[in-house]
Amino acid sequence: MKEKSKKFKYFTYIRSKFDYIMKKILVTGGTGFIGSHTVVELINAGYEVVIADNLSNSKTGSLEGIEQITGVKAPFERVDLCDKVAFEALLKKHRSINAVIHFAAFKAVGESVEQPLKYYHNNLTSLINLLDLMPQYGIENIVFSSSCTVYGQPEQLPVTEQSPIQPATSPYGQTKQISETIIRDVVAASDRIKSIALRYFNPIGAHASALIGELPVGTPNNLMPFITQTAIGIREQLNVFGNDYNTPDGSCIRDYIHVVDLAKAHVTAVSRLMENRNKKPFEIFNLGTGTGVSVLELITTFEKVTGVKLNYRIVGRRAGDTEQVWADTSFANNELGWKTLSTLEETLLSAWNWEKRINNNG
Ligand code: WQD
């Protein structure tokens, strides 16, 4: 055998061993808010990461932030995962992927009510393409970005993973319920694929460096970026969608979780799958703080920690909103061995520091 091909053969052998040790993770939606924070934590934990995103709701600026924080320039592929040919080309290019963390999806509750087909097509087609391609490329592990919206308006609070799945209150929530069902059925039919679904509550905040954070494209749908954009003067006034709910102060209650705490849970989950420590082929965990906070409480706490007075008014309810939901986190705490570390005050301050930095205000 020619000297050159012998060397190449030896290199390929070493690379295959290295790949296994390196543990390569594909992060879809990896330039997004939660995705970018998870990429940072994966790299910090020693994983090799490939980022895929179609940039429909994020910008490549987060790639620079990730590199500045970690010192690593993770390979980025701009791809629409609904385009199966393009998706497969990515998997052909980036071989030896051991697991996928699937964030790529639209996630604005209010927008999903106005544009249901946009949500059903994007969120379900991208997942189905992924699940279909995984076995062909030897990928056995998927961590799925799910949501507390699968609980709809729970009858009992806090919600546990066994709480009944209520009819979704929005097409967004419906896509998460359907996605979990699709994954459950694919895992049951496969003898190799295993999965963990992480049901997020309300991710907010930003990395302590303020180099990555939530950067919605256009007018924010979510409460937190609307608060910080109002506080910095980009938005004139914050609308509080209803104060006539059956809650102590009349505004909706949510479980606001620091995005870095949430990101760390993904490292814990993907390690659990890759080291075969999962107890069932498909596991589900609630990721929240276990504490419910109302919209008005969030506003007053933000004003307290930042010293900024927020200009807001009460308006009518928003279609698709649930009245109140927060997590029972005992299963994730005890079984996954994960819990949130940040206080609400620290979380709000991190969101404010991020908003100030991207507007060059400090
Ligand atoms: C929170 C509260 C609004 C904007 C989010 C994510 C979704 C999922 C669940 C992860 C509601 C009120 C909002 C505003 C307001 N997370 N609000 N004025 O709807 O709970 O959904 O968490 O999967 O992806 O979107 O979050 O921030 O939109 O709303 O009064 O301008 O704030 O009515 O009560 P939501 P949100």
Ligand 1 atom with minimal separation from the 147 CA = 23
pLDDT score of 85: 98
Candidate from 318, 325, 326, 347 with most ligand 1 atoms within 8 A of CB, to mutate? 318
Low-confidence spans in the chain with pLDDT less than 50: none
Residue with the smallest CA separation from ligand 1 atom 32 is 223
Query: Is there an atom of ligand 1 within 6 Å of 147 CB?
Result: yes
Q: What's the helix, strand, coil split of the chain in %, to 5?
A: 45, 15, 40
d(CA 299, CA 30): 29
Task: State the alpha helices, DSSP H only, in 45-115.
Answer: 61-70, 84-93, 109-114
Query: Is there an atom of ligand 1 within 6 Å of 200 CB?
Result: yes
Residue 324 Cα to ligand 1 midpoint, Å, equals 11
Please answer whether residues 308 and 302 qualify as being in contact, where contact means their C-beta atoms are separated by less than 8 angstroms: yes
Specify the 3-state DSSP secondary structure of 293: strand
Distances (CA, A) of 316 to 109, 226, 234, 247, 325: 16, 17, 22, 16, 20
d(CA 68, CA 149): 34
Ligand 1 atom with minimal separation from the 295 CA = 32
Residue 204 Cα to ligand 1 midpoint, Å, equals 10
Residue 320 Cα to ligand 1 midpoint, Å, equals 10
Ligand 1 atom with minimal separation from the 251 CA = 34
DSSP 333: I
Query: Is there an atom of ligand 1 within 6 Å of 108 CB?
Result: yes
Residue 258 Cα to ligand 1 midpoint, Å, equals 15
pLDDT score of 1: 53
d(CA 98, CA 102): 13
pLDDT score of 361: 62
d(CA 298, CA 108): 19
Q: Are strands 312-315 and 238-241 parallel, antiparallel or unpaired?
A: parallel
Specify the 3-state DSSP secondary structure of 166: coil
DSSP 39: H
pLDDT score of 39: 98
Residue 119: active-site member: no
pLDDT score of 59: 86
Which entry of 47, 172, 200, 256 is annotated as an active-site residue? 172
pLDDT score of 80: 97
Ligand 1 atom with minimal separation from the 145 CA = 23
Residue 241 Cα to ligand 1 midpoint, Å, equals 10
Nearest to 192 by CA among 138, 148, 147: 138
d(CA 291, CA 336): 19
